[in-house]
């Protein structure tokens, strides 16, 4: 919602300030539909040329995330710590046979079903289950360094793909000023075809052409690029939950004491959603163990 509020403030301040300064909104509003048709149509065409259908759907989902904000909240990060610690404890205490049902069929796992929001994230499920599956099939022969490499590769690949909508918006934002110039040049061409008209008419036509340049710059630096930055920040924030999984698994494999395991996972979370150490420790001890 903050993104929508920001766009509203932007539009009110730009056009309101222009009107307060004595500018007439009439010529701008008159030219707006035609210029938006040229700029917006060219932008849509550019997106279609540079992306496949899957990428366009991903971009649509990214725009929805800008409105909704980060997917994971403070409780989800606590749940990620609790879930991963419980599974690693089970593996160490009871062995591969005990943890295998939770890995092979997480939808039927009583542990996983205590955390439905995490179970709904397919990458989170695969990250935990695939890593534990490696530990199960390797029967203790795989090193923590090899597991770390697998985790880093999986998280990096997922993160690169998750950032694509933000990158698409950034590319669009970078192109919009040039598309605005295209619209302006077409307006000038139209004006030159009416060079025999009175100065007042020519002035209006030139003003309409300049609206194209104005819109291109405003859309790029006032809306699209800030939306790209917001989406990138949301993606980075949500990606922290996978670092929680990584740190719990690696610290457990290296036989770190339980407080160290919890602290190394907790400190992977940004300040806005980072729980207190006592909150993690007491939560795990009070019914999550």
Q: What is the pLDDT of residues 67-97, one digit of tens each?
A: 889 999 999 999 999 999 999 999 988 888 8
| Residues 102 and 125 sit within 8 Å (Cβ to Cβ) | no
**Residue environment code for 176-215, b if the CB has 16+ CB neighbours within 10 A, otherwise e:** bbebbebbbeebeeebeeeeeeeeeeeebbebbbbbbbbb
Task: Kindly tell me the burial class for residue 15, based on how many C-beta atoms sit within 10 Å of its own C-beta (0-12, 13-18, 19 or more).
Answer: middle
Residue identified by tokens 């993690």 is: 280
**Which H or E run includes 237?**
helix 225-253
For the chain, the straight-line distance linking the first and the last C-alpha, in angstroms and rounded, comes to: 37
Phi, psi of 26 (to 5 degrees): -55, -55
Tell me the per-residue pLDDT of 123-148, one tens digit each, with 9 for 90 and over: 999 999 999 999 888 866 788 899 99
pLDDT given at position 192: 79
Average pLDDT over all residues of the chain: 90
pLDDT classification of 222: cutoffs 50, 70, 90 = very high
Query: Does residue 202 carry a pLDDT above 80?
Result: no
Q: Count other Cβ atoms within 10 Å, centred on residue 105.
A: 11
Q: Which long-range contacts (CB under 8 A, 24 or more apart) does 141-146 make?
A: 144/250, 144/253, 144/254
Residue 236, judged by CB atoms within 10 A of its CB (0-12, 13-18, 19+), counts as middle
Answer for the pair 52, 87: CB distance below 8 angstroms, yes or no: no
Residue reference for tokens 């909150």: 279
Considering the chain, what percentage of its residues have pLDDT values greater than 90? 64
Q: Compute the distance between CA of residue 244 and CA of residue 263 in angstroms, rounded to an integer.
A: 10
Minimal CA–CA distance to 60: which of 169, 136, 146? 169
pLDDT value for 289: 43
pLDDT band at 199 (very low <50, low <70, confident <90, very high): confident
- The pLDDT confidence band at residue 287, using thresholds 50, 70 and 90, is low
């Amino acid at each position: 919602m903050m993104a929508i509020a920001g766009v509203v403030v932007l539009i009110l301040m730009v056009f309101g300030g222009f009107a307060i300064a004595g500018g007439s909104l009439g010529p701008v509003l008159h030219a707006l539909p035609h210029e938006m048709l040229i700029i917006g149509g060219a932008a849509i065409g550019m997106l279609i040329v540079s992306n496949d259908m899957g990428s366009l759907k991903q971009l649509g989902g990214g725009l929805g995330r800008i409105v909704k904000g980060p997917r994971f909240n403070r409780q989800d990060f606590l749940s990620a710590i609790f879930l991963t610690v419980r599974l690693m404890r089970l593996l160490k205490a009871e062995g591969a046979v005990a943890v295998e049902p939770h890995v092979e069929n997480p939808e039927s796992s009583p542990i996983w079903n205590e955390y439905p929001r995490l179970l709904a994230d397919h990458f989170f499920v695969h990250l935990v289950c695939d890593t534990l599956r490696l530990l199960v099939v390797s029967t203790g022969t795989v090193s923590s360094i090899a597991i770390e490499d697998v985790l880093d590769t999986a998280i990096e690949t997922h993160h690169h793909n998750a950032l694509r909508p933000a990158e698409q918006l950034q590319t669009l934002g970078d192109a919009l000023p040039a598309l605005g110039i295209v619209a302006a040049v077409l307006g000038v061409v139209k004006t030159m075809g009416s060079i025999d008209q009175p100065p007042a008419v020519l002035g209006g036509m030139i003003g309409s052409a300049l609206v194209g340049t104005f819109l291109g710059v405003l859309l790029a630096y006032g809306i699209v690029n800030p939306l790209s930055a917001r989406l990138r920040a949301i993606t980075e924030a949500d990606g922290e939950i996978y670092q929680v999984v990584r740190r719990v698994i690696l610290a457990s494999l290296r036989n770190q004491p339980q407080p160290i395991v919890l602290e190394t996972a907790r400190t992977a979370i940004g300040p806005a959603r980072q729980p207190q150490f006592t909150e993690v420790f007491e939560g795990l001890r009070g019914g999550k163990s």
